[in-house]
Amino acid sequence: MKKISLITLCFVLLFGFASLAYAELPANRIALGVQLGATVSQVRNVFGVPDRTTKEQMKSEAYGDFVETTMIYGNNSIVVKFYDENVWRIESNSNNGWATPDGVTVGMPLQGMYDRLGKEDIKSPAENGEMLYWYNHDTKSQENRGNLYVFVKGGRVSRIVIAYQ
């Protein structure tokens, strides 16, 4: 009887902790106007002609040498970065009307973010007095579609970043 109780307790604890696992998001919930991997033409179809475009030669141990193109919209309101010809990072830096598929926008209260996304995978202090709320991609799908990083300052979303790790 004692052995059965111990096995039952272990089973309950194991699956109880599993239910507290990370709030991994499926790929269709990790976007900001476009998804990571989008092409230059897809970005222009969504955001229009950028106010400014820059190109910079990058050196990376992981990815080798490449040219990073950055498209900047509305005085850094939206910043889209490309690895070669595909988006690898999207930033929303102001309350500009752009939202994640779940409706998270810059300027919304922290509780509104939690209501839409649930508990974060990682929470840690960031620069400029911000707190980072990191939502991982769905690792079960074996497809890395990037992560969602929400920065909060003063109880409100201050910026949103969609990027590969």
Burial string for 29-39 (b: 16+ CB within 10 Å, else e) reads bbbbbbbbebe
Task: Report pTM.
Answer: 0.80
Does the residue 148 lie in any domain? yes
Integer-rounded Cα radius of gyration of the chain: 19
Instruction: Please tell me the predicted confidence (pLDDT) of residue 82.
Output: 95
Does the residue 10 lie in any domain? no
Q: What is the pLDDT of residues 109-123, one digit of tens each?
A: 999 999 999 999 999
Does the residue 19 lie in any domain? no
Count the domains in the chain: 1
Does the residue 5 lie in any domain? no
Q: Is the pLDDT of residue 37 over 70?
A: yes
- Element holding 128 (H helix, E strand): none
Q: What is the pLDDT of residues 92-110, one digit of tens each?
A: 999 999 999 999 999 999 9
CATH number for the domain spanning 86: value is 3.40.33.10
Does the residue 123 lie in any domain? yes
Q: Is the pLDDT of residue 91 over 90?
A: yes
Alpha-carbon dihedral of residues 18, 163, 132, 104, nearest 10 degrees?
-90
Query: Domain limits at 38?
Result: 24-163
Does the residue 61 lie in any domain? yes
Does the residue 158 lie in any domain? yes
